[in-house]
Amino acid sequence: MNRTGVVQDPIFMEHVMDPGHPERPERLKVIYEMLEDEEKKNLRLINVKPRPATREELETTHSPAYIDRIASTAGKPHFRLDMDTSTSAKSFEAASLAAGGLCELIRAVCSGNLKNGFALVRPPGHHAESDRAMGFCLFNNVAIGAHYAIKNFSLERVLIVDWDVHHGNGTQNAFYSDPRVLYFSTHRYGFFYPGSGAATEVGHGKGEGFTVNVPLEGGSGDSEYGNIFERVLKPIALEYRPQIILVSAGFDIHYDDPLGGMEVTEAGFARLTQILMEIAEVTALGKLVLTLEGGYDIEGEKRSVGAVLKELSQVSPLDKKELVDKERKSDRRIAQLILRLSDIQRRYWKSL
Ligand SMILES: [Zn+2]
């Protein structure tokens, strides 16, 4: 029996920013078309209908004044929020349904109706701050989802893994002093947007030790990501014992992405999904929920999302042997990074 859910809805293609903007409706259009094709073959996914996030749910992460500001853009053809972030008439509706859709998927997984799932939504969320739109993001979907899971299912430990090429500043800040959420981010670092995410940013107060930042150099690919997930994320996560894993799944680490400068292949995305499924199986009865963040090469993103969904639903999963061999032969650069991360994090995680 297949128990993998997806959130998809035409409303998510009605959020439109400036002409030529890379975060464009076509990103989802090709993914939805692929799902229709795959549906006819063997990929059986369960649709989870999105609903708007409630005011109360939005307020777990955003200030009332900010929510009012985004709501006031409804019906206006164009409104600029940030240098690279704007809204169209339906953006507020789309953003509310993106956050609410993720909450519905989390509900289905936490209540045991689904095993795992992927919210294929726009706009993305991980840069959105409590009171500010940033980096193509309006509401911070994954942060709202984590609060939703904690509140409605009395969870004490939620792991957010963010593999988008950009650091999820908004998500980090939302939980910087909060041990109920462990934020783990891999991102390109050093003269790269948004600039936050140094390895020494580890959380504050009660949240100290519950933020793990993995700054990577441009050009990192399957082997680097595989090593970080196996040798840093896995031991920390098994020690933390999350009750659910949420993923900010950005496909701007794909080798064809015009913004990211990373080298991850479709097989690499499948491998990362496998590692997350293994962790979830041990600590969270398999509960794993992804939400779409960035990813600007339309075809590469589509194929990668397809590879991830095949893993989640265990339809033709990847034979990981070749990638694991490559990971074992990893170069000195990544070994040095792992040593440095261990030095910083060992205070909090004795398995490192
Ligand atoms: Zn990104």
Q: Euclidean distance between the first and final Cα of the chain, in Å?
A: 37
pTM: 0.98
pLDDT tens per residue, range 62-82 = 999 999 999 999 999 999 999
- 3-class state of residue 25 by DSSP: coil
Q: What is the pLDDT of residues 267-305, one digit of tens each?
A: 999 999 999 999 999 999 999 999 999 999 999 999 999
Structure token pair of residue 264: 């991850």
CA of residue 41 to ligand 1 center, whole Å: 31
Report whether pLDDT(333) > 90.
no
> Residues 143-157: what's their mean pLDDT?
98
Quick check: 1 pLDDT over 70? no
User: Measured in angstroms, how far is the CA atom of residue 194 from the centroid of ligand 1?
Assistant: 9
Run of H or E residues at 349: none
CA of 127 to the centre of ligand 1 (A): 9
Q: Which residues contact 26 (CB under 8 A, 6 or more apart)?
A: 298
Query: Is 254 marked active-site?
Result: no
Any idea which residue has 């078309």 for tokens?
A: 33
Report the separation in Å between the CA atom of 133 and the middle of ligand 1, taken as the mean of its atom positions: 14
Q: Which two tokens stand for residue 301?
A: 């993103």
Residue with tokens 């430990």: 157
Per-residue exposure over 294-314, b if at least 16 CB sit within 10 Å of its own CB, e if not? bbbbbebbbbbbbbbbbbbbe
Flag whether pLDDT at 326 surpasses 90: no
- What does the pLDDT read at residue 2? 66
pLDDT digits (tens, 9 = 90+) for 194-240: 999 999 999 999 999 999 999 999 999 999 999 999 999 999 999 99
Q: Is the pLDDT of residue 322 over 80?
A: yes
Set 127, 166, 167, 187: catalytic member: 127
Specify the amino acid at residue 235: P
Taking the centre of ligand 1 as the mean of its atom positions, its distance from the CA of residue 165, in whole angstroms, is: 5
In this prediction, residue 52 carries a pLDDT of: 98
Rounded to the nearest whole angstrom, what is the distance from the C-alpha of residue 135 to the centroid of ligand 1?
Answer: 8
Pairing of strands 85-87, 79-82: antiparallel
pLDDT over 70 at 106, yes or no? yes
For a pLDDT cut of 90, what percent of the chain falls above it? 92
